[in-house]
Amino acid sequence: MNKMNYAVFFTILSFCILPVLAQDNKKQNKKTSNNRITNLHDFMEDYTKPAMQYFKKTGDRVYLNKILVEVPSLGLDDQREDWKKIVDKSLDSGKAETSCKSCHDLYKKDYKKKFRKREIQIPESLIGLDKEIRAARK
């Protein structure tokens, strides 16, 4: 190969490789960037609601119990204590499902209006549970 051919060859080669590298980089970013960030609405839709559906279908509260203990930590500073009271009361009675209405009646409307976009982090202990519940729910 003469010099010119080498140049052409490497130019073409780099055009083939660059997109692959870029793709890899994107994947890496997605993995390392914090994909634990969500908001309360989406958390409820992704975790709490399927857990409730699972309970209705099977009578098993395992997912509800697991999720609800974490819910107060997702609340606003000045509401967290009361959220914990509501949740503890339902868990202590062995009926986690009663907490939904208790909390929603008092807090949902206002929260939705003022804090719909507020970011929360999915608690460490629940990561991946959304997928597990959806698979189990089928």
Q: Which residue number, 26 or 118, has a Cβ lying nearer to ligand HEC?
A: 118
Spatial separation of the C-alpha atoms in residues 108 and 103, rounded to whole Å:
7
Spatial separation of the C-alpha atoms in residues 62 and 102, rounded to whole Å:
20
Which has the closest alpha carbon to 65: 75, 56, 55? 55
Q: Which residue number, 107 or 130, has a Cβ lying nearer to ligand HEC?
A: 107
Spatial separation of the C-alpha atoms in residues 21 and 49, rounded to whole Å:
39
State in angstroms the smallest separation of the CB of 124 from ligand HEC: 19
State in angstroms the smallest separation of the CB of 65 from ligand HEC: 10
State in angstroms the smallest separation of the CB of 9 from ligand HEC: 57
Provide the binding-site residues for ligand HEC, judged by CB under 6 A.
40-41, 44-45, 48-49, 52, 64, 71, 83, 86-87, 97, 99-100, 103-104, 107-108, 111-112, 115-116
State in angstroms the smallest separation of the CB of 53 from ligand HEC: 8
Cβ-based neighbours of 81, under 8 Å, separated by 6 or more: 72
Residue type, 30: K
Q: Which residue number, 52 or 122, has a Cβ lying nearer to ligand HEC?
A: 52
Spatial separation of the C-alpha atoms in residues 20 and 8, rounded to whole Å:
19
Q: Which residue number, 27 or 112, has a Cβ lying nearer to ligand HEC?
A: 112
